[in-house]
Structure 1
Amino acid sequence: MFTEKLLKQIDFIKEIDKVKYIQRKTRLFNSNRHENDAEHSWHLALMAIVLSEHSNEAIDILKVIKMVLIHDIVEIDAGDTFIYDTQKDHQNTKDERLAANRIFGMLPEEQSKEFIMIWEEFEAGETKEAKFAKAMDRLEPLLQNSSNNGGTWEEYGVKYEKVYEKKSVIKEGSNVIWSYAEKLIDDSVESGILKK
């Protein structure tokens, strides 16, 4: 009655509901509640649409939206790695690769290949779309932490140098947004919510 393709797509849709249960370290704006991966990805997609005019280069916004919506799906299996974790590298891991193959592999072959390619492109961070998508991914927690009196910076003792290092990726996607982010980091130091 229903095609195998449709049933695979429905199974994938059911599976990715698990993204809603992956808790991140950052909290919602002006809140004590932790954000989940689904909320994070949705927020990045809207940020990309709203801020796309500030990209360093003309971008395919649909591709950026796809990147930010699927980039953390692998955390269903691999879990969330805190960007400031000192024990585990935040770079693409073997666990994330296995997760990408399993989860995106649930889709029909053509969609599976597309999703894996988009995920790989985001992880590599080399194309103009990936650079802008990563800029959004680094900007959102900066905005959250500054709205929460230091948030995870305070909670985990993260210092200015580490924040600056991790956030400087923003300039690869947008010099304009990086200027804003850099000022926000400096203002956070000046106000005492980010320690040097």
Structure 2
Amino acid sequence: MPSVVPTLDFGSMTQAIQFLMEIDKLKSVQRRTKVLGRQRQENSAEHSWHFAIAALSLAPYAGENVDIQRVIQMALLHDIVEIDAGDVMVYDLAARAAIHDQEIAAAKRLFGLLPEPQREYFTALWQEYEDGESADARFAQVLDRSMPILMNLHNEGQSWVENDIRLEQVLARNTMIADTQPELWKHLLQHLQDAQRKGWLK
């Protein structure tokens, strides 16, 4: 797939602007993780921005077969469905399974606001991320899983402590980081074990 979004048809600019205004709602979707300093909850738009910057910053570790421009696009699109479906904590497996159909419906509605070919392109990119089978999607998912871990490690385990998360849960839920980016996982693992010793993880 191309790494650049298809050129906008100016005859459909109204639809593109309608989409942009609708996704402003992502700024109001609160996550369990708080911003550093813990003054307030992080919102999903902020997480998507941080994820995109992480892709740009960690690009040298991605591997030659990863297109970072596409990873950045996935980062910016991946959580838009939370406007309709809401945010569910990664460790709440039952809740995540329960909202699967809601997320698909949300993608159809939200990306459906766009004109073609953006509608098809955005939908396909979102689905590729969800499937996690391409090299780009796997690296994107590694970063998406890593960001809350990093935030907690630099915020005294805030969301782990508040939600009674165990080290075993973090390890089990993030095996794909170890499989895809073993060096990153080695870095995270030593800090996760230290976090448990500090009482931030059970």
The TM tier, using the shorter chain, reads over 0.9
Q: Partner residue of 1:106?
A: 113
Q: Partner residue of 1:65?
A: 72
Larger displacement relative to structure 2 (2-11 or 123-132): 2-11
Q: Partner residue of 1:30?
A: 37
Unaligned regions of 5+ residues in structure 2, if any? 1-8
Q: Partner residue of 2:173?
A: 166
**Residues matched between the structures, number:** 194
Matched letter for residue 194 of structure 1: L
Pairs within 5 Å for 1:135-146: 135-146=142-153
Matched letter for residue 55 of structure 2: A
Of 180, 184, 188, which aligns to 1:181? 188
Q: Partner residue of 1:77?
A: 84
Q: What do residues 166-192 of structure 1 show as CA deviations (whole Å, max 9, x unaligned)?
A: 222223442221111112211111222
SS across alignment from 1:109:
coil
Q: Partner residue of 2:136?
A: 129
SS across alignment from 2:95:
coil
Q: What do residues 19-42 of structure 1 show as CA deviations (whole Å, max 9, x unaligned)?
A: 100000011123231100110000
Root-mean-square deviation (Å): 1.8
| Aligned counterparts of 1:108 and 1:27: Cα–Cα separation in 2 | 35
SS across alignment from 2:122:
helix
| Aligned counterparts of 1:91 and 1:43: Cα–Cα separation in 2 | 27
Determine if the alignment matches structure 1 residue 153 to structure 2 residue 160: yes
TM-score (norm. length: structure 1): 0.93
SS across alignment from 1:169:
helix
Q: Partner residue of 2:4?
A: none
Pairs within 5 Å for 1:16-27: 16-27=23-34
Q: Partner residue of 2:6?
A: none
| Aligned counterparts of 2:197 and 2:98: Cα–Cα separation in 1 | 31
SS across alignment from 2:96:
coil
| Aligned counterparts of 1:134 and 1:27: Cα–Cα separation in 2 | 20
Unaligned regions of 5+ residues in structure 1, if any? none
| Aligned counterparts of 2:173 and 2:98: Cα–Cα separation in 1 | 12
| Aligned counterparts of 2:155 and 2:10: Cα–Cα separation in 1 | 48
Deviation at 1:87, TM superposition (A): 4.0
Matched letter for residue 50 of structure 2: H
Q: Please identify runs of 4+ aligned residues in structure 1 that moved more than 3 A.
A: none
Q: Partner residue of 1:194?
A: 201
Q: Partner residue of 1:95?
A: 102
TM-score (norm. length: structure 2): 0.90
| Aligned counterparts of 1:20 and 1:147: Cα–Cα separation in 2 | 23
Contact 1:64 1:132 in 2 (8 A): yes
